A and B are shown apart, each in its own frame.
Chain A
Amino acid sequence: MLKRILYIGLIVIFINCKGEQKITLNATDTFKSNGVEIPVYDFESFKPLLTINDGKTRVINFWATWCKPCVAELPYFELINSRYSDDEVEVILVSLDLPKQVESKLIPFVKKQKIESKVILLDDPDANTWIPKVNKNWSGSIPATIICKGGTVNFYERSFTYNELEKELKKIL
């Protein structure tokens, strides 16, 4: 039985290990079923994630269950997530699945593939407004990845192998 719970103003708190800075992201909604929770953000509520300055490196991957090259490279992001400490690197998998397919496709996928990284849903249909705010050169095709730390934001509209991904990560660590 799938259950969808609406938490208006659910607060996800990102606190770095030293507690230097607190950033709160307010999810607009949360999908919850089968023991998997997927918070939902529009771009306004998602945006602070790109500029958090807490010393941690974030690997933010835009993907969807229907995107084959995205699914193919997910294991590499999972590997980064498991190999680097949570204090050092946070991997966030930003799903662009349709909201109506979260319970039928995304949650079963996350469950079946035993995804350990944080999975969130970006649900903002006015893509022409927010895509250029992620990166002005992004055409909107996925997979796309951001590796950021402090004010440094590196953007990649491409697929990765593990070695390529780790190489880019090490540039910014």
Chain B
Amino acid sequence: MKTLKILVGVAFIIAISAFAIDKVSNSKTEVGYSIGDIATDFKLKNIDNTDISLADYKDAKGFIVIFTCNHCPYSVAYEDRIIALDKKFKTKGYPVIAINPNNPQAYPDDSFDNMIIRAKDKGFTFPYLFDDGQKIYPQYGATKTPHVYVLEKTDKGNIVRYIGAIDNNYKDTSSVTKKYVEDAIHALLKGEKVPLEITKAIGCSIKA
């Protein structure tokens, strides 16, 4: 009888701990930034072989951090618009920082050498960084390319102000009716709240 009680007790503890483990692993899958979080800085290799950090940009008011890559048709569809964003907002204090989060073993098109080629062919005006070892994108919570994080530089750090898509029509620039990233930065430059802080879009999964 006593043995039975102990067995029941042990089984109960196992059941509880299994539940606890399940809880822990659940919360682990939900990492990534929310609006208002402080985004981590990084030191990643640029296509010109220099290391780039957000802290290097002393005069910036913020950043347009875009996880993007070579192989994804959705990223490619946005390349010209990413260049336009950089040209438009770099001078206003919001430069584009592009990061390729993909594992080149899964996607050979996204190798560092191919990043250099693509950036040169398209005439990228912004740094195109390689998330070597895929350490930065999970902290941001990027799930796909392209995936944009607009950060506002403050005394407390770089605050996440917008997460999502560049605009509301990946296919056709002329059919765009909402420019989410531009609207976000215009609001920030005026010291106002970003009108639409989170948007969703189809993209190429980063995990392969």
Contact = CB atoms under 8 A, between A and B. Distances in A.
Given A98-B73, A127-B170, A140-B144, A68 B106 contact: yes
Interface in A65-86: 66-70
B143 A127 contact: no
B171 A98 contact: yes
B67 to A, nearest CB: 11
Given A125-B170, A128-B199, A69 B205 contact: yes
A66 B106 CA distance: 12
Interface in B110-167: 143-144, 164-165
A141 interface: yes
A126 B71 CA distance: 22
A67 B202 CA distance: 11
Interface stretch (A14-22, A29-37, A131-139): A131-139
A68 B107 contact: yes
Nearest to A143: B205
A137 to B, nearest CB: 10
A132 B208 CA distance: 24
Nearest to B180: A128
A66 B71 contact: yes
A140 B203 contact: yes
A132 B73 CA distance: 22
A67 B164 CA distance: 19
A66 B107 CA distance: 10
A69 B107 CA distance: 11
A131 B73 contact: no
Given A96-B202, A140-B144, A143-B205, A66 B73 contact: yes
B169 interface: yes
Nearest to A97: B73
A97 B207 CA distance: 18
A131 B170 contact: no
Contacts of B200: 127-128, 131-132, 138-140
23 contacts: A64-B73, A67-B204, A68-B106, A68-B208, A69-B207, A69-B208, A70-B205, A97-B73, A126-B168, A127-B165, A127-B201, A128-B178, A128-B180, A128-B199, A128-B200, A131-B200, A131-B201, A140-B144, A141-B143, A141-B202, A141-B206, A142-B202, A142-B205
Interface of A: 64, 66-70, 96-99, 101, 125-129, 131-132, 138-143
